[in-house]
Amino acid sequence: MAEENVKAINKRKAVSLSQKIEIITKLQNGAANAAICREYKLSKSTVSTVWANKEKYLSVQHVNSPSTKKLRGSSKPEVDQSLLKWFSLKRSQNIPISGPILQAKAAEFEKITKTLNTQESQEEPGSSSKEIEYSRGWIDRFKRRYDIQSGKIHGESASVSLEVTNQWINTVWPGLRSKYEKCDTFNGDETGLFFKLTPDRTLKFKGDKCSGGKLSKERITVFVCSNMDGSEKRRLVVIGKSASPRCFKATKNLPVTYYSNKRAWITSEIFEKILRDWDTELEKRKRKILLLVDNCPAHPKVLNLKRIELIFLPPNVTAVLQPMDQGVIRSLKSHYRQQLLFKLIRALDSNNDLKITLLDAVMMLVTAWGRVSSTTILNCFRHAGLDIGRDAFDEDDDIPLALWIEKERSKEIDNIPDLNEWAKSNSITDFDDFNLTEYATADDNLVVAEFPSDAEIVSSVSSQIDIESEELEKGEDSTEGENQRELPTTLEALDSLETVNKFLRFNNPTDDCINALELIHGTIQKSLLEKRKKQTKVTEFFKL
């Protein structure tokens, strides 16, 4: 038996990429080298080589085919990656792509790449080398490299009727729903937000898609995601225009995940990063979830996810099937604008100008997200027809599922704050001259993503390959027009807390309010004492 094991180990064996990733993961988790050798029947030197090249294998695990045994790079990496990105985008649109189309597109990307490189190097256009013809063999290697299979691509069609929507609910959804509990069924979607918008500027902003220009400096995109029963509202993802907002500099722990690009849009790279990070988190917890998303241009098919089953809703059904668009996002924005209006009232009362930084917007968004109730979220899933609870039927009811879904969709969703009612119930008359309903929906048509042009694809790929390229928008904090605010000192925070304490003494605070105040006071006090420990006493300078 021992001799057979030795022969098995000594025999040359090709190790696939997926096996290499498994080996690296086990070694990272503390597995012994010898144990790995026995399990995979590999020599010690082979395992050591895999470990030595772990960074290379981990960087390509989501791009190359898992069955790949040798990592053969392309002689034209920019063309190669541009073509792959373009193919993925077209595949998400359910457009069939043949070999000749790939050949022609590769040649187009070659031209664009040469043009961009010529502009950067300031060479004369005529000095570039002759065009390269992308042979069928090159395309075949490209397909093998990324495990692209021939055949029909299943997925979206050009348009979907209500009949097709109900058919998806009746035939596709039950099979998916049966595999996951409510707490493991998620939906995520993006929304645009004019984070500085006040009621007096509603007419200027309402209906603007904000693809660029001055208004783009006052917008952000927010990715909102929650599970069906509302027990797990995912950390918000905020996408802004500036890479390094000045107002973030003194913040140690930002309560959202922040990304940036020129247009403050969601991109396929950002979306994939969100899912990869979440998948890693779920892998550690040995948990699997279902994630429903729409067919937004920035939502590619993310390959090799281990713990996330990514399902794309039929196209053109966002207003019908997507829970986030059934009222969750509307609730989030209403809670956000309540806080913004309150800040405006404070500014009016003190005769000051209202100044809202991106950090202010982030903090208000986090508060607003916390106020979106689990009941609202569950109702939105039910309103979309995705939560078919038996408690919704009477015992003697025997109605078709389609009629029940139609009945649910006709209901109004509770717990979504109405700004007019909020102002009326709080006797706020400052905004009587403005339409708060239009104010609440002013940014509903904001563009959050768009299919990139060929030139944008090449430019995006080039910036990733060239590690020495400068970061876009980095340091351009002035584009946001934000004034940098000094971070309050610990003593100033304690003084402010004392002021709050004095105010509450004469306003009959509840026990919960007093306990919360004591908790905050204790936290700040602890911070002050920790700082004092690190400081050197003045008397120590006079010791002999």
pLDDT under 70 in the chain at which residues? 1-13, 56-75, 89, 91-96, 119-133, 146-161, 164, 202-217, 388-415, 450-453, 456, 460, 462-487, 502, 505-506, 525, 528-544
Q: How far apart are CA 137 and CA 135, in angstroms?
A: 5
Of 409, 444, 470, residue with least CA distance to 329: 444
Clarify whether residues 497 and 422 are in a common domain.
Answer: no
Clarify whether residues 366 and 496 are in a common domain.
Answer: no
Cα angle 418, 449, 216; round to 5: 70
So what's the pLDDT on residue 347? 85
Clarify whether residues 27 and 91 are in a common domain.
Answer: no
Clarify whether residues 220 and 334 are in a common domain.
Answer: yes
Q: How far apart are CA 213 and CA 332, in angstroms?
A: 26
The answer as to whether 327 is a domain residue is yes
Give the pairing of strands 289-293 and 308-312. Answer: parallel
Clarify whether residues 45 and 92 are in a common domain.
Answer: no
Tell me the whole-structure pTM to 2 decimals: 0.64
Clarify whether residues 420 and 527 are in a common domain.
Answer: no
Alpha helices, DSSP H, located in 309-393: 318-321, 323, 329-349, 358-371, 374-383
Give how many domains the chain has, as a whole number. 4
Clarify whether residues 424 and 504 are in a common domain.
Answer: no
The answer as to whether 8 is a domain residue is no
So what's the pLDDT on residue 137? 78
The answer as to whether 87 is a domain residue is yes
Cα separations in angstroms, 132 against 109, 110, 115, 129, 136: 11, 8, 14, 9, 13
The answer as to whether 454 is a domain residue is no
Clarify whether residues 264 and 312 are in a common domain.
Answer: yes
So what's the pLDDT on residue 369? 96
Task: Report the amino acid identity of residue 77.
Answer: P
Clarify whether residues 231 and 265 are in a common domain.
Answer: yes
The answer as to whether 108 is a domain residue is yes
So what's the pLDDT on residue 253? 86
Clarify whether residues 324 and 429 are in a common domain.
Answer: yes
So what's the pLDDT on residue 348? 83
Structural domain span for residue 524 = 489-543
Clarify whether residues 342 and 436 are in a common domain.
Answer: yes
Q: How far apart are CA 328 and CA 224, in angstroms?
A: 9
The answer as to whether 515 is a domain residue is yes
The answer as to whether 527 is a domain residue is yes
Cα separations in angstroms, 530 against 197, 535, 537: 40, 9, 14
Clarify whether residues 307 and 358 are in a common domain.
Answer: yes
The answer as to whether 346 is a domain residue is yes
Tokens 């995520």 belong to which residue?
A: 188
